[in-house]
Structure 1
Amino acid sequence: MATKNILFIMFDQLRWDYLSCAGHKTLHTPHIDRLASQGVRFTKCYVQSPVCGASRMSTYTGRYSSSHGAQWNGYPLRVGEMTLGDHLRANGMDCFLLGKTHMKADLEGMARLGIDPDSKIGRRQAECGFDAHIRDDGLWPEGPEGFYDPKPSPYNAYLKSKGYQEDNPWNMNANAGRDEDGSIASGWFMRHADKPANIREEDSETTWLTSETIDFIQNAAPDTPWCAHVSYIKPHWPYIVPAPYHALYGPDDVQPVNRSDSERVDPHPVYKTFHSNLIGRAFHRQEVRDKAIPAYMGLIKQCDDQMGRLFAWLEETGRMKDTVIVITSDHGDYLGDHWMGEKDLFHDCSAKVPLIIYDPSAEADATRGTTCDALVEQIDLTATFIEMAGGEVPSHIVEGRSLLPFLHGHKPEEWREVAISEYDYAVTPMRATLGVRDQDARLYMVTDGRWKLMHSEGPGHGAMLFDLVNDPGELTDLGRDPAHAAERARLYAHLHRWALRMNQRVTRSAADIAGMRGRSRRRGILLGVYDEHEVEDDLTRHLQGKAKEDFVSGR
């Protein structure tokens, strides 16, 4: 592939259906829509875990969360785990980070192996394999026990350089407004979501990171291809946005909530526990949705406008001709659908994400402006980028599959039958509410595009099942319906086959194993041989003939 660079853009908590090109009726995103008209929009892309850290670690490694082990926020990605940066650098492409990873470094593992955190290897281990142009994980609140994230905040440093005088301007300016009497109107309280954030729009997080991206591309080394992971924190909560975006939408622009009273009649115990938690109960209330969702829409509108600014600059400088552009998200947001808030479970509003890929190469001309309905997993991006860099996907390590055939108009000879997602909720309050052991606090999703099964590992929990054709809103749980036992059994069989996959033999490829097979004979190991004539002559020739000495008889 002749394309030189990859601009890998990820928004945090952007629902797949909150783009006008995906059907949103009142939120217009013309710049992202235009990119979709120039590339391919994948309509069935699932993340491998519906929580930030685990989802991102899967995307950055190309592996399922149970393979890499970092299955929740704050779980370190073990030292030595191969990442996108490792694969791309091996194929001559640099790999940079601008923004968020939610990566937790395995400092104990690094210390055990004597890796200096300040060395190049140490920094890459701590930055999820990227060379960090600027890392900002985007959540800088402070509570009675200190900061949520103790790392220095580059964005806070930027705000202070611009004259914002608060000790933590992220908390008090970018994510807070002002009441009529001048008091702080924190974005942590959703009743303030209709107020403008107390910050100049040009200094807000989304605009700042776009400026950093343009600066990076302007100054990137011209002779080495690069992948730049530009990772925005928004439209992730707190739900508050600077003017004029705070006033663009109101309750009349909010699409009808997707939920039914029947969902709360004898519900699956895990679902009941999640929709009954504090976040779920908040989004049961109409006033919360009327405040939070217009702000969420305003955050997305600002993201789209910044994409317009970025894309216009790329066109003016001629960079659209040599840059692949990818837009996706790490998970969605319930926003009151299914009586839930946040993410956590596997309904489409949580586990399905937007994925748009623009490939400027001539090979992709036939697919411009099309949609692809194949079952895609976000771990496929790692495989895709490796192929774009000219490499061969190491399938013994990377569990995703390249999307290049779809981009270039070729249907792969073989594609997956199901998509898988996982969730380890051991550290959440819901585990204690359910009374399950830490090792049993695991959830799985398997979908074939027609049916979706959610399995809970807790004793007696069983499955939830949805018919995505006759019930696209996923409102009727068929998990205990005897009439659908065959569908449950079929999807469980898929889940079982997936669970039995080979996923830890990462130091030997199939080619390595083929080369090793039979090598021990050719290196002198002749087990099971009774007579020298039973094997090839060259394996035994050196074992025949007269012995030079006889130490037994002494002659």
Structure 2
Amino acid sequence: MTARNILFIMCDQLRWDYLGCTGHPSIRTPNIDALAARGLRFDRAYVQSPICGPSRMSFYTGRYVRSHGSTWNMVPLKVGERTMGEYLRPLGLRTALCGKTHMTADLEGMQRLGLSKTEGIGALLSECGFEVWDRLDGVHPTGGKMPSHYNRYLADEGYEGENPWQDWAAAAEDADGTLLSGWLMKNARHPARVRLEDSETNYTTRRAMEFIDKAGDTPWCLHLSYIKPHWPYIAPAPYHDMYSAEDVPDAIRDRAERVDPHPLLAAYQAHRTSKCMSRDDVRRTVIPVYMGLITQIDDQIGELMRHLEATGRLDETLIVFTSDHGDYLGDHWLGEKELFHEQSVRVPLIVVDPDARADATRGRVNADLVEAIDLVPTFIEAAGGEVPDHILEGRSLLPLVHGATEWPRDAAISEYDFAFREARTLLGRDISDCRAVMVFDGRYKLVHVTGHRPMLFDLQADPQEFVDIGNDPASRGLRDRLEKRLFRWMEQLRTRTTMTDARVDQLTEIEKDEGIWIGFWDEQDVERAMKSPKGRS
């Protein structure tokens, strides 16, 4: 049947290769694997920026970072940018959030337009176009982003302290009852103090099921956005020790990467997070917990699928599972994310469509280059709407899900603004000159870095991206070709967002039809022009 509802599941900082269905040797994710068996798994899906905020803004707007302008986590999304809720609500879908968006509202722009962040359209604009069912952005340090729905829930459940999230969900305790901070990676193997049923992942799943139950017969798009396995790397029992150091894959790195590396790579390798995560003892401590957090999410997705089935909604819901970016976990001598190796910029993506037209691709793996921006047009098409191609820069995935073999994208693009990072000061760059852009054609990956030579990798000859050939004279022609492709991408960005292509066609040469005769010599010229096809005179 055609989908009535859309369940848009996103994890935070989940690597593409830390699932059973994507080939991890020891992690257990049977419920996510079952989604892949029921739907189409896209093996080469890339985010438009390898950090939370700008990546999510691209997911929600269907536009590249250079177009929507939210280049880093604290950079507001411009008040004029349309998001998925604005496209789906007119199509009859209640569009709600349960979890994280990392949205920063353009309060200055709203104030200029006289919009209140608590009322009407202003309330939606300040929440990235979502009706907020429950917002949990994940990191709520004392003095930071407090309060939250989750913190209020913990307080109501009797968890004491000024900041229950930090003191219970993001903390452990030793045998003497001493508080152990989850921010410190040495404490990762201790269980979180919070009860399992009150942990972030279980709470968010339960709230999502409450939304589904209360929505009744109204069609909906629910963005279920888990904040894990993002740091702090601490898990509730029994997930804290479900895996051991023996389950940790060897680090994907080579000592050659530290010999005369590209300046941007060297700067990131010098970051504290990279130095810490590159240590073998840290990897053996942290990664088993990262894996446990993933299995916890998988278990909760199993609960959610059973709930959808029991309530009769499973076969009428389009389900998408993905992540906002990856996690280096010490690979390439790096921690966190933010650069453009596969561990950071490539994400899992599974689409389960109940439509019978998708039967031909169930359980299959698609190798086309797809991007985060493709989901908004996918949802619009699934809801029966017309995709506004003059605004959206992504393409609907439904043709591929329904068995199409032609896909027009020949390259994936991702961007990063490192002005907010220590790398800028280490490199001595001006704030305006801290942009890096990746163009990947399926084999060759070029990273253009303002003020420096490009990085270049051949993923066929060097699938682990150990050898940067960006400075190799023999690669000159290849660099030129990819830089031209990058320039072509910039030319194609959607900047005329207030008028459709169809309307442009209607207005082409309209002035002569309205009696505005520019460039005519005499009446005969006008007569000939009026008889000729549009656009010719």
- TM-score of the alignment, normalized to the shorter chain, above 0.5: yes
When normalised by structure 2's length, the TM-score is 0.97
In structure 2, what is the Cα distance between the partners aligned to 1:538 and 1:349? 59
In structure 2, what is the Cα distance between the partners aligned to 1:511 and 1:221? 38
What letter matches 2:401 in structure 1?
L
* C-alpha deviation, 1:371, in angstroms: 0.4
Contact 1:466 1:478 in 2 (8 A): yes
* C-alpha deviation, 1:538, in angstroms: 12
1:72 alignment counterpart: 72
In structure 2, what is the Cα distance between the partners aligned to 1:537 and 1:27? 73
1:501 alignment counterpart: 492
1:172 alignment counterpart: 167
What letter matches 1:477 in structure 2?
D
CA RMSD, 1 decimal? 1.4
In structure 2, what is the Cα distance between the partners aligned to 1:432 and 1:35? 44
* C-alpha deviation, 1:537, in angstroms: 9.3
* C-alpha deviation, 1:539, in angstroms: 7.4
| Structure 1: runs of 5 or more not aligned | 541-555
Establish whether residue 240 from structure 1 lines up as the match of residue 228 from structure 2.
no
1:391 alignment counterpart: 385
Q: 1:426 aligns with which of 407, 416, 419?
A: 419
Which is worse superposed, 190-199 or 463-472? 463-472
Establish whether residue 62 from structure 1 lines up as the match of residue 49 from structure 2.
no
What letter matches 2:340 in structure 1?
F
1:343 alignment counterpart: 337
What letter matches 1:20 in structure 2?
G
Q: Deviations over 1:392-413 (max 9, x none)?
A: 211110000010111000123x
In structure 2, what is the Cα distance between the partners aligned to 1:199 and 1:495? 48
1:370 alignment counterpart: 364
Establish whether residue 196 from structure 1 lines up as the match of residue 186 from structure 2.
no
Contact 2:438 2:446 in 1 (8 A): yes
When normalised by structure 1's length, the TM-score is 0.94
Q: Deviations over 1:519-553 (max 9, x none)?
A: 2222231222332332249979xxxxxxxxxxxxx
Q: Deviations over 1:454-486 (max 9, x none)?
A: 11112xx21111111121111111111122222
Q: Percent identity?
A: 53
In structure 2, what is the Cα distance between the partners aligned to 1:101 and 1:536? 59
What letter matches 2:484 in structure 1?
A
Which is worse superposed, 342-351 or 499-508? 499-508
1:472 alignment counterpart: 463
* C-alpha deviation, 1:516, in angstroms: 1.0
What letter matches 1:420 in structure 2?
I
In structure 2, what is the Cα distance between the partners aligned to 1:316 and 1:90? 29
What letter matches 1:100 in structure 2?
K
What letter matches 1:186 in structure 2?
S
Contact 1:100 1:233 in 2 (8 A): yes
Change (3 A) 1:117 1:445: same
Establish whether residue 308 from structure 1 lines up as the match of residue 302 from structure 2.
yes
Establish whether residue 486 from structure 1 lines up as the match of residue 477 from structure 2.
yes
* C-alpha deviation, 1:338, in angstroms: 0.2
Contact 2:2 2:354 in 1 (8 A): no
In structure 2, what is the Cα distance between the partners aligned to 1:69 and 1:129? 16
Contact 1:326 1:358 in 2 (8 A): yes
In structure 2, what is the Cα distance between the partners aligned to 1:465 and 1:502? 24
Q: Secondary structure at the match of 1:232?
A: strand
Contact 1:524 1:539 in 2 (8 A): no
In structure 2, what is the Cα distance between the partners aligned to 1:114 and 1:184? 46
Establish whether residue 454 from structure 1 lines up as the match of residue 447 from structure 2.
yes
In structure 1, what is the Cα distance between the partners aligned to 2:365 and 2:386? 26
1:141 alignment counterpart: 141
What letter matches 1:178 in structure 2?
E
Establish whether residue 206 from structure 1 lines up as the match of residue 201 from structure 2.
yes
Q: 2:152 aligns with which of 154, 157, 162?
A: 157
1:522 alignment counterpart: 513
In structure 2, what is the Cα distance between the partners aligned to 1:409 and 1:172? 50
In structure 2, what is the Cα distance between the partners aligned to 1:310 and 1:82? 29
In structure 1, what is the Cα distance between the partners aligned to 2:172 and 2:111? 43
* C-alpha deviation, 1:220, in angstroms: 0.6
Q: Deviations over 1:492-520 (max 9, x none)?
A: 11111112224211001110100111222
Q: Deviations over 1:225-281 (max 9, x none)?
A: 211111110000000000000111111110111001000000000000001110000
Aligned residue pairs, count: 531
Contact 1:234 1:299 in 2 (8 A): yes
In structure 2, what is the Cα distance between the partners aligned to 1:371 and 1:29? 17
1:129 alignment counterpart: 129
